[in-house]
Amino acid sequence: MERTLRLVALLREAEEVKAPKGVPCDGKVVSFDNALAFLQRYNRFLRDLGPKLASPQVTFHWTAEENFQSIVESNLRVPKADPTEANGVKKKHGAAFGRGIYTCPDYKMAKEDFSYGASATFACLALPGRQLTRHHGQGHGRRDSRGPDFDSVSGRLPGRNCCTWVFPTSDQILPCFLVDEVAIPAAVAKLREAIALIQETWPDPSEAEASAKLLNDAVDSAVTPCTLEAMEDTGRERWRRSERESASSAPSEQAFIGEGDLPYGGDLQAAMRAQDRPAVKMLMSMRDQKKDQVTTRGGRRWGARKAEHLRNLGS
């Protein structure tokens, strides 16, 4: 009970994690009920598998913006096995490694495969336990991602240098933050703190389970980290509108002349650490423009030298 309260407080009060405007619950999406179920699963893994295999890991779940609110409200869920079923989560993409919740410990790789245009991702804690390695293209789509001797699945999609993780149950993954690329370093640092808290010495397992049951019965009203009214106010339309407003309010590149006039002196890493999104976008844009200019100038110089060389040969 006490550990769950501490974990939720740590994650919800993470002021250094500055989510983009308009996302549900200001990006602090951890739910008490989900955290309680996650810690109960952790305790079972700790008892049955030992501390090494029970250790929580950081992973990312990308999804379309239209799914943000439902995930905040009811957690990540395993897609239904039968596509004709009326209720449950519908599978939007393939299941290359089996049925389950797909995540990736590398947010960039996951974005390429599963973002569907979204610019924010769920930063999560996960309990992989014993992982079974599966290979792409071998007909795993309808297989379960859990078995007698494994607790989750790991597999690598073609052209990817990082594995995809597949979880068979919702209590093996805990969505904590909904953040964009700028806020990911701060979110990961806070999740590392959360892992350290979880791995502190636990009381007697029977006592912990009894406390968890009593608390679980008393928190029926604490399903989500923010009220339904607040989630309605921060729905999909507001999220997209905020993104447009943020883009339109970004400082103009023409407003700066020399490096001394650039935000953070032109230091992109400093802007990232400060999570100053307009500055990051501007500095990244200017960096890309400089690369293009160098390439273009290099091409003209090479062409000019070649033309001069040909003229000299002709003379």
Query: Domain segments of the chain: what residues?
Result: 2-240, 250-315
Instruction: Summarize pLDDT for 62-73 with one digit per residue, the tens.
Output: 888 888 888 888
The tens digit of pLDDT for each residue in 232-248 reads: 444 445 455 455 555 55
CB 92 within 8 A of CB 61: no
- What pLDDT, on a 0 to 100 scale, did the predictor assign at position 167? 92
Whether the per-residue pLDDT at 154 is higher than 90: the answer is no
4-39 as b/e: b if 16+ CB within 10 A: beebbebbbebeebbbbbbbbbbbbbbbbbbbbbbb
Q: Which residues contact 59 (CB under 8 A, 6 or more apart)?
A: 103, 104, 105, 124, 125, 126, 165, 173
What pLDDT score was predicted for residue 1? Answer: 72
CATH number for the segment(s) 2-240: 3.90.228
Task: Report the pLDDT averaged over residues 136-157.
Answer: 73
Mean pLDDT in residue range 50-69? 91
CB 141 within 8 A of CB 95: yes
Q: Provide the whole-model pTM.
A: 0.67
